[in-house]
Chain A
Amino acid sequence: MKRAVSITLLTTFLLGCANNDPLPPVAYVHYMEDRSHDMHRTVQYGNVDYHIQLATPEYVVSKELAEEQPSEEALLQRLEQLKGYTFFYLTIEAKGNSRMNDPALAEQRALYYTQAAAADISLLNGEEELKPITYHFENNYGLAPYNKLLVAFKTEDRKEGEWQLVFHDRFNQNDLIKSTFSIKDIAQLPKLAIK
């Protein structure tokens, strides 16, 4: 009997340790960017690396917090605005010589990533294909060896399966850049501690 009680207590303690306590914004960002938590992926393709960061509304708000100090009310309002959307930060990094850092292609590169690239990104959930609801390209004018894209999809109501981000990077002629995230894992992410 004593042993059964001890085992139950130990199990409860261990499960208690594993539960996801709400995290303050900075810790939340670190948690999401920590590769071991499976929300940040990399696809290596020749001389180009694609870093894909899944971003929940809480992550986006936490990033915004780094620049502003909004009130609790404004924060909740912002979270409500972003609710039901899933965001992806895509960083395209050039290693060595590639089309990504060729100054002669700067205009062509900016043109593709500013406008056309959005049509080459989609989010799959089984047979269903979602197209971006919003898209933004951060033009660094060739000053950094990477380019950043932010893309958002309306993903509300989905509770099962996986989200697979698929990108056909026509500028680099790199097809089928894929990254898969379990919806269950996303639902089990820690909450954001507000205050």
Chain B
Amino acid sequence: MKETKSIFDRVLLYFVALVVTVLLGLMIRQEFSKPPIAFVDIGRLVDGYKFKKELEAVSGKNLGKIKYVIDSLQMVQRATGGNAQLDQQVSRAQNAMEEYYQQSNYEITKKIWDRLNPLMEQYGREKELELIIGANGAGTVLYGSKGRDITDDLLAYINQKYEKGS
């Protein structure tokens, strides 16, 4: 009876030791596999963002319309030899195009970051990252191993959130 109890105790001890070892192993693995710091190639991220592409398509269409007006005016200018009023109209249309181009570029950039910032925060929280560094090719990240580069994963994430919502 005593011997049976001793065998049982030993088995139980081995079992508990095994469970503790496995749990410890899992914890250590999790700790080491977690990338607390990652970097993103900002240029590639922004260029691949569908939102940017669609905004640019709209802005491009509008620019095309202004360009069409300028081309028409210039055609008339060439055909008639031009006059002061026509020259002024052409110059005004060219200024309007330049102004629209600059304004829309500024707005697109602002809109992109308005949407990217909360998404990156959400991504960082979900992936339990402690720091995301933006590499812009100007030396902010001098070297980063491939394992720390989350650009592709983040790009897939932001595009999915853009189409679907969070």
> Chain A interface: which size bin?
10 to 19
- Within A48-99, the residues touching B (CB, 8 Å) are 52
Q: Which of A41, A42, A52, A175 contacts B55 (CB 8 A)?
A: A175
**Do A43 and B165 touch (CB < 8 A)?**
yes
Contact of A174 (CB < 8 Å), options: B54, B111, B163:
B111
- Residues of A116-148 whose CB lies within 8 A of B: none
Contact present for A41 and B111 (CB under 8 Å) = no
**Does chain A have a CB within 8 A of B118?**
yes
Taken together as a complex, chains A and B put the C-alpha atoms of A175 and B51 apart, in Å, by 9
Interface size in chain B (residues, C-beta < 8 A): 15
CA distance A46 to B118 in the complex (A): 8
Asked if B166 lies at the interface with its beta carbon under 8 angstroms from chain A, I say yes
A44-B118, A44-B119 are known contacts. Are A175 and B165 too (CB-CB below 8 A)? no
Interface centre among B58, B163, B164, B165 (most CB of A within 10 A): B165
- The chain A residue sitting closest to B118, CB to CB, is A44
CB-defined contacts of A176 to chain B, threshold 8 Å: 51, 54-55, 162
CB distance from B75 to the nearest CB of A (A): 33
Residues in A lying within 8 Å of B, measured CB to CB: 41-46, 52, 164, 173-176, 178-180
B positions within 8 Å CB-CB of A? 51, 54-55, 58, 107, 111, 114-115, 118-119, 162-166
Interchain residue pairs A-B with the least CB separation, the first 3: A41-B165, A46-B114, A179-B165
